Structure 1
Amino acid sequence: MKPIRLISGFLTVGVWTLLSRILGFVREIMILSLIGPGPLMDAFVAAFRLPNMFRRFFAEGAFNAAFVPMFSSKLEGDEDAAEFGRDALNGLALVTLMLMALAMIFMPALVWATAGGFGEERFDLTVGFGRIVFPYIFFMSLSALFSGILNATGRFAAAAAAPVLLNVLVITAMALAWATGGEAITWLVWTIPLAGVAQLVLTWGAAANAGFALRPGLPCWTPDMSQMVRTAVPAALATGVMQINLVVGQLVASNYDNAVSWLFAADRLYQLPLGVVGIAVGIVLLPDLSRRLKANDTDGARTAYSRATEFSMALTVPSAVALMVIPLPLVSVLFQRGATGVDDAAAIAVAVAIYGLGLPAFVLQKVLQPQYFARGDTRRPFHYALVAMVINAVIAVGLSPIIGWIAPAIATTVAGWAMLGLLYWGLRGMGDVVRTDDRYRHRLPRIIAASIAMGVVLGALATVLKPALGTDGVRYIALLGLIVMGAGSYFGIAHAIGAMRLSDIKGAVRRS
């Protein structure tokens, strides 16, 4: 995959992810407006986190780290990739069905382990919601498999478009609840498993069109499956550690009214650049690095890694600065309405600024992890994640008696930077592939300078536009103007000082 094609892959995934995140904003705006921070939303967030937690543990983390490099290698060789994919499908389906059955039986124990601070009302609500939404894990885990097949074959669009379905269906459900006067929470929880079915149908059909019409059957233990499991277990443990960090944060937040909802809303906002940039880069980079390393294309692998890092920083650093400089205008305009009041917006904005400080670390992790996974090394990321987990737990639990509900956000950011430092430290000995090229080293300081200049512009504009940002009707236009002028200043300054060349992006867009 040539560098221009690699960037086009980033853009393909990034554009679909951007659309998904934008629709996700609409989704969260409607949920916060119709339900709002409180017992119902706290219970839904805790319940929905359960299938998402296990999905990332089994499917997106462990499975992709083990399956995608092996599947990519088989595509490059003369081996039967379809047979391997079918065996993986059957094994994953069996594991997730067993997990789903156990979760349904022991849901109260799961809720106690992940949101033990909830009182009786929120606890019972979470158990009930959890049993409705947990089947989502089965459909989404299988969808992740088909997405891995599509990404390995260079067909990124369908896999990246699948998450859009969840947001479209939830938005539709919320609109129907508002129009019919029904209970929004009831519409919301029953839409989640339906969305999982829709996403599976989309990715399964796209994989069939790509020549991989896999059919379910009885699981079959083969040497390839054995190798995949040996690779997947450490990756599952590493991903599990990251999910434990989320659980620790939720456990601390569950002791404070509305805190679970506040942190969830803040998480949605910083996940926009993380999803558009970090996840897109990780998805495209892993199969590309796997192919290049197998072909001993060291120069090509180094170029791909350098362009991925450069692309990530060019979009992530200014995003992080924006989240830290104008969190309240972003939150108040996007979320403050209906059941979400001024105090809620102020609390969410504080968390957004803290998460923004950690955003570059979260994104760079997505760039560095493929260096390990492409080599079949999932053990060292697991060990580093253990250290980050301890740091997260100590800060979240230790600071909460002093500063309260915001401690989990601080812990997440600090642990994110610690994890990034460990990943960089572990790159020693991998050779020139993991050393960025001169072009990246030349551009990074300029990217940072352009981002800082943009932050100054945003701060000044936010002060000027403060009255408009607080006026109903006008505030949407004011925020749009603030974002457009901030982005314009960044790209203009970046181009002028050599942080990026717009011709690079134009060429990638044309190729995409």
Structure 2
Amino acid sequence: MKIIKPLIKTSGMTLVSRVLGFFRDILIAASLGAGGIADVFFVAMRFPNIFRRVLAEGTLNISFIPLFSKKITNDDKKIFFKEIFNFIFWILIIIVCIFELFMPFFVYFLAPGFIDDKEKFDLIIQLARISFPYLFFISLVSLLCGVLNSNGKFTLAASMPIFLNLSMIITLLILINLNVPNSKQSVFYLTLSFSLSGLIQLLLCLYGCYKNGYIPSIRIPNISKNIKNFLHLCFPAIVAGGVIQINILIGTIIASFQDSAVSYLYYADRIYQLPLALIGISIGVVLLPQLSIAIKSETKNNILTLQDKSISLALLLAIPASFGLMFLSYDIISVLFERGFFTSEHSLATSRALMIFAAGLPAFISIKIFQTLFFARENTKKPLEYAIYSMILNALISIILFRNIGYMGIAIGTSISAWINLALLINESIKQKIYFVKKSALIQLLKIVVASFLMIILLYGLKNFTFLSINSISEIVNFLTLIVYVIIGIIFYGILCVQLKLIELNKILEG
């Protein structure tokens, strides 16, 4: 089984989406800045965004794909798909209606720090009601993407977030061109474009599934055996797979008590989510259907090979990404966001959060891989248990540290709890004999750390002892300099990996 080629397709579309997402956030930062109406907008977006990341970025499919892959005939697969789609359709209708009716209560829970400011609180409720239908669209998109991925159609599924970013970018450019100020009107139209993009994604995915012979039908649902099996895996998988996003939600609640903290954490989150999506989520999306098929056919060699390849590849990419983000945190934030209402003070504060999140990046990514080892075997109990431990630990650390160091305590809690979660998952996978720690893997890990450290030494030299420094008055020059840093770092790290025999080019080309 090949993992590199489908991973390249998935990561490629994810990269395009994330680049557009950065451009979108650059426009948002310039238009809204940090604090004030920006905090209101980000809190209103947090509800559907949390669900988008938990459901749309693979977690719903953790319960769907293993059961779908078990079906022997295409007819059985189509029946299973129709039953699950119909069931989720009606569940989502109920959830969206409940949230729309009781949105003030949910906003009170999500952003208690805004209660004393009635104008901001009312605006959050209005925007949240506009944005929440996106949950309905994107959850169905997630299920349809699971069908496409299981049939080897990774590109279309991975391209869906592109349409979200394009919709919001077009809206922002129109608002900027019309000189619409940083106001309620601007965030209203921006939120509306967010929801409409979900409808566009749903229509495209429905067409993709139709071309592959999967046509959903809507009727009064009955709780069949297929649905019972799906539900047995679904809730634990959503909680366990979405623990990072749930921790972010906890952070948002706490951060609402500090001015601008929600914005700082949002912008930092946007940066470290790029490598998380490109590496952890993409590998998880590609690995789950292939691993489920291998387990179904009981081909032990294929199972172990897939697991080892995925973990090795994740570490090979995650560790240098972590080092790079920590070292270049201020440069990245200032180059991408520091303009308009986003000041140098905002850059410094956001970069501190990014540095802390980056320290937890290898754990965030590895959690995605190790959870997949359990989910592919329809084992959700232990990942759920450890996810709950992680959430409790994150909340405790965040609350304790927030009193003294504010929003940075939230970032610290998120990173520490992720490392604890990963340690528990690794220990359990060894106990259950679904993963084996090899001496060669530990040597490889040491080599990756050494190569990453040497890469940072090179970047330090470039920043401090050459003309390549990010201090020009020209935004374009600073942006190009940052790109040069990244390219040189990647090339140098790649050369080191080849020299240390971490990368064998012929095997990469073979996939």
- AA in 1 matched with 2:280: G
Query: Residues 150 and 438 of structure 1: is their aligned pair in 2 closer, same or farther, counting only changes over 3 Å?
Result: farther
Q: Does the 8 A contact of 2:356 with 2:415 survive in 1?
A: yes
- Kindly indicate whether residue 138 of structure 2 is the aligned counterpart of residue 140 of structure 1: yes
Contact preservation (8 Å) 2:57, 2:281:
no
Q: Is the CA contact 1:33–1:340 (under 8 Å) kept in the aligned structure 2?
A: yes
Cα 1:180/1:340, change in 2 over 3 Å: same
Per the alignment, residue 90 of structure 2 pairs with 94
Instruction: Name the aligned partner's letter for residue 463 of structure 2.
Output: A
- The CA RMSD measured in Å over matched residues stands at 1.8
SS in 2 for 1:304: helix
Q: Give the Å deviation of 1:53.
A: 2.4
Residues 1:298 and 1:187: Cα distance change in structure 2 (over 3 Å): same
Using the alignment, how far apart are the partners of 2:201 and 2:109 within structure 1?
29
For residue 479 of structure 1, what is the aligned residue in structure 2? 482
Instruction: Provide the rounded CA distance (Å) in 1 between the counterparts of 2:468 and 2:401.
Output: 33
- Residue 24 of structure 2, aligned match among 9, 19, 27: 27
Gaps of 5+ in 1: none
In the TM superposition, residue 55 of structure 1 has moved relative to its aligned partner by 4.2
Pairing 1:269-308 to 2, within 5 Å after superposition: 269-308=271-310
Deviation at 1:32, TM superposition (A): 0.4
Match of 2:102 among 80, 93, 106: 106
Give 1:386-405 correspondences, 5 Å limit: 386-405=388-407
Opposite residue 112 of structure 1, the aligned amino acid is: Y
- Which moves more between the two structures, 414-423 or 475-484? 475-484
Distance in 2, Cα, partners of 1:286 & 1:465: 46
SS in 2 for 1:375: coil
1:302-321 pair list within 5 angstroms: 302-321=304-323
Deviation at 1:294, TM superposition (A): 1.2
Quote the Cα distance in structure 1 between the aligned partners of 2:376 and 2:87: 22
Aligned to 2:3: 6
Q: What amino acid is the match of 1:332?
A: S
Deviations 1:22-75 (A, max 9, x none): 11100100000111112211111111111222345566566312111101111x
| Structure 2 counterpart of 1:496, one-letter code | Q
Instruction: Evaluate the alpha carbon distance shift between residue 468 and residue 353 of structure 1 in structure 2; reply closer, same or farther with a 3 A threshold.
Output: closer
Q: Does 1:163 align with 2:161?
A: yes
Number of residue pairs matched?
A: 503
Structure 1 match to 2:249: 247
In the TM superposition, residue 158 of structure 1 has moved relative to its aligned partner by 0.4
Aligned residue identity for 2:279: V
Question: What is the aligned counterpart of 1:498 among 491, 496, 501?
Answer: 501
Q: Quick check: 1:13–1:280 contact (8 Å CA) kept in 2?
A: yes
Per the TM alignment, residue 202 of structure 1 is displaced from its structure 2 partner at its CA by 1.5
CA contact (8 A) 1:38 1:258 kept: yes
Q: Does 1:372 align with 2:369?
A: no
1:84 corresponds to: 80
Counterpart position of 1:47 = 44
CA distance in 2, matches of 1:198, 1:498: 45
Q: Which letter does structure 2 place at the counterpart of 1:455?
A: I
- SS of the residue 1:434 aligns to: coil
Output the CA distance in 1 between the equivalents of 2:255 and 2:468: 31
Distance 1:311 1:239 in 2: 20
Evaluate the alpha carbon distance shift between residue 457 and residue 62 of structure 1 in structure 2; reply closer, same or farther with a 3 A threshold: closer
Q: Which residue does the alignment assign to 2:120?
A: 122
Taking structure 1 as the reference length, the TM-score comes to 0.94
| Alignment correspondent of 2:457 | 456
**Distance of 1:354 and 1:499 partners within structure 2:** 27
Q: Per the alignment, do residues 355 and 242 of structure 1 end up closer, same or farther by CA in structure 2, a change over 3 Å counting?
A: closer
8 Å CA contact 1:303, 1:437 repeated in 2:
no
1:446, distance to aligned residue in structure 2 (A): 1.8
Give CA deviations for 1:197-239 in whole Å, capped at 9, x if unaligned: 1111121111111221223333232111111111112223435
> Which stretch shifts more, 302-311 or 464-473?
464-473
* CA contact 2:86–2:216 (8 Å) conserved in 1: no
The aligned residue for residue 411 of structure 1 is: 413
SS at match of 2:23: helix
SS in 1 for 2:298: coil
Which letter maps to 1:446?
Answer: K
Gaps in structure 2 of 5+ consecutive residues: none
Which residue type is aligned with residue 446 of structure 2? P
SS of the residue corresponding to residue 113 of structure 2 reads: coil
Alpha-carbon separation, structure 1, partners of 2:287 and 2:175: 41
Which residue is 1:381 aligned to? Answer: 383
Q: Once the 2 structures are TM-superposed, how far is the Cα of residue 458 of structure 1 from its aligned partner?
A: 1.4
Distance 1:289 1:492, change over 3 A: same
Query: 2:17–2:162: 8 Å Cα contact kept in structure 1?
Result: yes
Which sits farther off after the overlay, 273-282 or 172-181? 172-181
User: What secondary structure, in the 3-state scheme, does the structure 1 residue paired with 2:259 have?
Assistant: coil
Q: Given residue 451 of structure 1, which amino acid in structure 2 is its aligned partner?
A: S
CA distance in 2, matches of 1:264, 1:206: 33
Q: Is the 8 A contact 1:263 1:351 kept in 2?
A: yes
Distance 1:459 1:145, change over 3 A: same
Structure 2 CA distance, aligned partners of 1:375 and 1:491?
A: 34
Kept in 2: contact 1:385–1:419 (CA 8 A):
yes
- 1:31 is matched by which residue type in structure 2? I
Aligned sequence identity (%): 32
Output the amino acid matched with 1:114: L
- Partner amino acid, structure 2, of 1:116: P
